[in-house]
Amino acid sequence: MIRCPDRHENPQTLAHCRVCGLPLIDPLREIGPFIENLRARTILGMPKSMNVLIGTGSVGKKLVLEAAIPGNNGQGEAYSYLIADSTAVSDLATGKTLFNVRIGDAGSHGALFCGSAEHAAEGDLALVPALKGCGLRSNDDRQTVILVTALGGGTGSGTAPVVLRHCHALNPGLNGFVLAISPGEDESVHAHVNALYGLARLLDNGPMSDGVVVVQYDRLKHVHGIGNTGEEIKGEALITSILQLMLSALRSPNSMKFSRLNRAMQTHVLVPCLALGRSLKIFGNLGNVFRSALAYPLAPLIKDNVTISYLLLRIPRRLAQECTDNLVADELSAFNRKYLPGVRAMLFQTTIVEGQSDRIDACLLLGGDSIANAAPAARANYEKFRRQLGDRWPAYGLTEERGRSAEQLIASYDARMEELRESG
Ligand SMILES: Nc1nc2c(ncn2[C@@H]2O[C@H](COP(=O)(O)OP(=O)(O)OP(=O)(O)O)[C@@H](O)[C@H]2O)c(=O)[nH]1
Ligand SMILES: [Mg+2]
């Protein structure tokens, strides 16, 4: 209810009092923009972070909260954090710069479709000030944004592209990477529609991120690794490991070389292959470690289609003298020649970690394959959805035209990849 200046009660939807006809003024709505403006000015006084980690949707939120716990990402104070989800963050006690933007109206409780979440994020006045607070303020090609999200839900798939578009508007030179969890093959039609739409939007406009690392959710069941205290790493924890490797290898200024090469090659969708806690004593050499990673890509991949091969490598200090950059380069190019014959360019980044373990972690990021191969279920489900939908597009916050443009974006990416492969 809202009161008029003469204190008659009225429903919030009216513009004038139903008793006396005086105008109804909602103080919060009137001074909202003023408060946002004030907040933005306060934020601009904060130090600028060169590395920003953003989580969208429930899964993104969980992963960012985990990474923001001091000591968890191995990066000290290098990152600032932003969470954009349909539910609020209750615990901000991480001791870090952590912004929280609530997407959508209070009644939605998280159940949104991609298009509705996209509209909600586009209309959200708090998003840009929060991004400025994270450090996105001016054109700077050293700055890195890593965004983590699942694509099967509505909030993450709808919000992530909007957030990245704002990031590019604030810093056109940024290096942007996404870790995206795509739905498992047996998930619902809606999950696949959200994922295909979200992925298309991430490739839109230029595209919005230099590399989208796609992990298919059900593939996590089949991969196991070893942590530095000998514990088994599986399922959910594998995502955390990939994110940690990305946070340490793709931070400023190293991120620049990856994004520049990726822009030149236009291979924006990357499939990760993970080998965690491998002992060089057991595996003999790095090539064998890479081979064990390639045995089970975390999204479907046709190996002959791979044109670019990145390696994020983490080694303990005691192996630093043994694993020189020259050795890593030699082993990676020999491995590529043998198992990925279509590779035209490669790049790696080694991170040294302290500790007594003699185990190494490797994450190959392989690009050049088509999305139709990396997410076959997405395409089939999208077709099914389109046939069943009839005129109910608005229920999903979409129009037939937006759906078609998403399909075209994916098709043109795939055509570009095919052309690139054939030209080689
Ligand atoms: N990493 C991780 N992914 C999950 C888990 N459960 C489901 N998923 C994947 O994440 C997708 C759902 O993503 P969420 O982040 O929960 O959805 P959302 O973006 O919050 O969207 P809403 O539907 O609006 O809540 C599913 O389609 C699965 O593919 C989990 O426990 N961990
Ligand atoms: Mg959710």
Q: Is pLDDT above 90 for 98?
A: no
Which whole number is the average pLDDT over 288-315? Answer: 95
Q: How far is CA 98 from CA 48, 105, 177, 348, 422, in A?
A: 13, 21, 19, 30, 46
Q: Is pLDDT above 70 for 109?
A: no
- Of 76-80, 113-117, 309-313, least confident by mean pLDDT is 76-80
Same domain, 262 and 290: yes
Q: How far is the CA of 10 from the centre of ligand 1 (A)?
A: 40
pTM: 0.87
Within 4-148, residue ranges assigned H as helices are: 27-44, 57-68, 114-122, 127-134
Q: Does the residue 175 lie in any domain? A: yes
On the CB side of 128, CA atoms within 13 Å amount to 17
pLDDT (tens digit per residue) in 202-250? 988 666 788 999 999 999 988 777 776 777 888 888 999 999 999 999 9
Q: Does the residue 379 lie in any domain? A: no
Q: Hey, which of 56, 58, 59 would you mutate to test ligand 1's pocket, going by the most ligand atoms within 8 Å of its Cβ?
A: 59
Which whole number is the average pLDDT over 94-98? Answer: 59
- List b or e across 26-52, with b for residues whose CB sees 16 or more CB atoms inside 10 angstroms: eeeeeeeeeeeeebbeebeeeebbbbb
Q: Is pLDDT above 90 for 390?
A: no
Q: Atom 26 in ligand 1: which residue has the minimum CA distance?
A: 152
Q: Hey, which of 58, 85, 149, 186 would you mutate to test ligand 1's pocket, going by the most ligand atoms within 8 Å of its Cβ?
A: 58
Within a 10 A sphere around the Cβ of 86, how many other Cβ atoms?
Answer: 28
Q: Is 158 in the pocket of ligand 1 (CB under 6 A)?
A: no
Q: Is 155 in the pocket of ligand 1 (CB under 6 A)?
A: yes
Q: Is 239 in the pocket of ligand 1 (CB under 6 A)?
A: yes
Same domain, 98 and 157: yes
Same domain, 28 and 153: no
Within a 10 A sphere around the Cβ of 265, how many other Cβ atoms?
Answer: 16
What are the two backbone dihedrals, phi and then psi, of residue 146, each rounded to the nearest 5 degrees?
-115, 125
Q: Atom 12 in ligand 1: which residue has the minimum CA distance?
A: 153
pLDDT (tens digit per residue) in 244-284? 999 999 998 899 999 999 888 889 999 999 999 999 889 99
Q: Does the residue 387 lie in any domain? A: no
Q: Does the residue 33 lie in any domain? A: yes
The token pair at 341 is 């014959």
Tell me, what CATH number does 197's domain have?
3.40.50.1440
- Ligand with the closest atom to the CA of 192: 1
- Ligand with the closest atom to the CA of 154: 1
Q: How far is the CA of 183 from the centre of ligand 1 (A)?
A: 8
Same domain, 195 and 244: yes
Q: Does the residue 404 lie in any domain? A: no
Query: Is the omega angle on the peptide bond into residue 253 within 30 degrees of 0, that is, cis?
Result: yes
Q: Which residues pair with 180 in a beta bridge?
A: 149, 214
Same domain, 276 and 164: yes
- Ligand with the closest atom to the CA of 60: 1
Q: Does the residue 393 lie in any domain? A: no
Q: Is 86 in the pocket of ligand 1 (CB under 6 A)?
A: yes
Q: Does the residue 276 lie in any domain? A: yes
pLDDT band for position 103 (cuts 50, 70, 90): confident
pLDDT at 21: 86
Q: Is pLDDT above 90 for 1?
A: no
Residue whose entry in the numeric block shows the structure tokens 């933005």: 40
Of the candidates 142, 95, 130, 117, the residue with the CA atom closest to the CA atom of residue 198: 117
| H or E element in which residue 272 lies | strand 269-279
pLDDT band for position 23 (cuts 50, 70, 90): confident
Q: Does the residue 423 lie in any domain? A: no
Q: How far is the CA of 126 from the centre of ligand 2 (A)?
A: 19
Q: Is pLDDT above 80 for 93?
A: no
The domain in which residue 273 lies consists of 46-374
Same domain, 54 and 18: no
Query: Which is higher by pLDDT, 294 or 107?
Result: 294
Same domain, 245 and 363: yes
Q: Is 153 in the pocket of ligand 1 (CB under 6 A)?
A: yes
Same domain, 30 and 57: no
- Of 3-17, 252-266, 309-323, least confident by mean pLDDT is 3-17
**Ligand 1 atom with least separation from CA of 220:** 1
Same domain, 217 and 231: yes
Q: How many residues does the chain have?
A: 424
Same domain, 194 and 114: yes
pLDDT at 300: 93
Same domain, 86 and 215: yes
Query: Which is higher by pLDDT, 347 or 2?
Result: 347
Give the chain's domain count.
2
Same domain, 25 and 60: no
